[in-house]
């Protein structure tokens, strides 16, 4: 079992985040990209090379990339140029992921970018995802959807796209907060789950909120999940101590 942490959770610059994450005991760091995504090192060859060298030097992996800014460029966006920019963003990340050893790209749909029910079967949405998936498939990368949808709706999208390069990034904290049965959904989605966030509800540390972790853990074992677990847990007043606390919870329970 490998456990990572999102790079913003420690409140440090990327180089220090890699070092501190390794020191705490994490196996990897999920690299997050914000709204000004073109300013991120991943948008230059030298930047990608520097991150790869840093990862190798410290001895910590990069399991996934998380372009949070994608929520402003979704497949269903009414503006053609904006929609095309979002697709191009994911295509670019698909090309650089292999250089970092990353197998998963988190594709977020929240806030103004959340997936509306009528979009699930809309050609504009599905065709946009197919276009991004075609590139991801070429580079053996998975576009993992994380949204407010339930397991049935996620599966409906996956069935229409029908690509091995599209899956679900499952967040048991989000699911529980939305009123879904996380353990049941994990069993239902099975192999469609590309990666998981470890998170509880209400901004609590893992195991201190409403997530039924024993049931969730049993479900992950039942489907034979052997992918990464990435902490998206609260930093509280002491991000380093909080990260260590939640890592210990994961190590002791999973």
Give residue 109's pLDDT. 98
Burial of 112 per CB tally in 10 Å (0-12, 13-18, 19+): exposed
Give residue 162's pLDDT. 97
Predicted confidence band at 10 (pLDDT cuts at 50, 70, 90)? very high
Tally of residues, the chain: 254
Q: Return the SS3 of 195.
A: strand
- pLDDT one-digit tens code per residue, 206-245: 999 999 999 999 999 999 999 999 999 999 999 999 999 9
| E strand or H helix that includes residue 128 | helix 123-138
SS3 content of the chain, % helix, strand, coil (to 5): 50, 15, 30
Give residue 187's pLDDT. 98
Predicted confidence band at 32 (pLDDT cuts at 50, 70, 90)? very high
- Taking all residues of the chain, what is their mean pLDDT, rounded to a whole number? 97
The model carries a pTM of 0.97
Give residue 235's pLDDT. 95
Strand 64-67 versus strand 193-198 pairing type: unpaired
DSSP 208: S
Rounded CA gap, 229 and 236, in Å?
20
Predicted confidence band at 60 (pLDDT cuts at 50, 70, 90)? very high
> Domains, the chain, ranges and CATH?
3-253 (3.20.20.150)
Judge contact between 35 and 69, C-beta under 8 A.
yes
Judge contact between 233 and 198, C-beta under 8 A.
yes
Judge contact between 119 and 126, C-beta under 8 A.
no
Predicted confidence band at 155 (pLDDT cuts at 50, 70, 90)? very high
CA contacts within 13 A on the Cβ side of 63: 24
């Amino acid at each position: 079992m490998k456990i990572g942490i999102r790079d913003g959770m420690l409140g440090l610059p990327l180089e220090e985040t890699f070092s501190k994450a390794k020191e705490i005991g994490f196996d990897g760091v999920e690299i997050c990209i914000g709204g000004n995504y073109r300013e991120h090192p991943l948008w230059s060859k030298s930047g990608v090379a520097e991150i790869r060298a840093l990862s190798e030097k410290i001895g910590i992996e990069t399991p996934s990339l998380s372009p949070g800014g994608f929520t402003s460029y979704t497949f269903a966006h009414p503006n053609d140029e904006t929609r095309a920019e979002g697709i191009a963003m994911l295509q670019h990340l698909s090309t650089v992921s292999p250089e970092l050893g990353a197998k998963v790209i988190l594709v977020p749909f929240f806030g103004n970018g959340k997936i509306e029910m009528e979009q699930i079967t809309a050609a504009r949405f599905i065709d946009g995802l197919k276009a991004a998936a075609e590139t991801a498939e070429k580079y053996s990368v998975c576009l993992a959807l994380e949204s407010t949808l339930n397991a049935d709706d996620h599966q409906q999208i996956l069935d229409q796209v029908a690509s091995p390069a599209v899956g679900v990034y499952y967040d048991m904290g989000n699911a529980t907060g939305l009123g879904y049965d996380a353990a049941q959904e994990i069993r239902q989605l099975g192999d469609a789950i590309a990666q998981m966030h470890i998170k509880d509800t209400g901004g609590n540390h893992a195991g201190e909120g409403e997530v039924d972790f024993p049931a969730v853990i049993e479900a992950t074992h039942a489907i034979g999940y052997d992918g990464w677990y990435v902490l998206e847990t609260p930093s509280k007043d002491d991000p380093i101590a909080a990260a260590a606390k939640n890592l210990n919870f994961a190590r002791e329970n999973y």
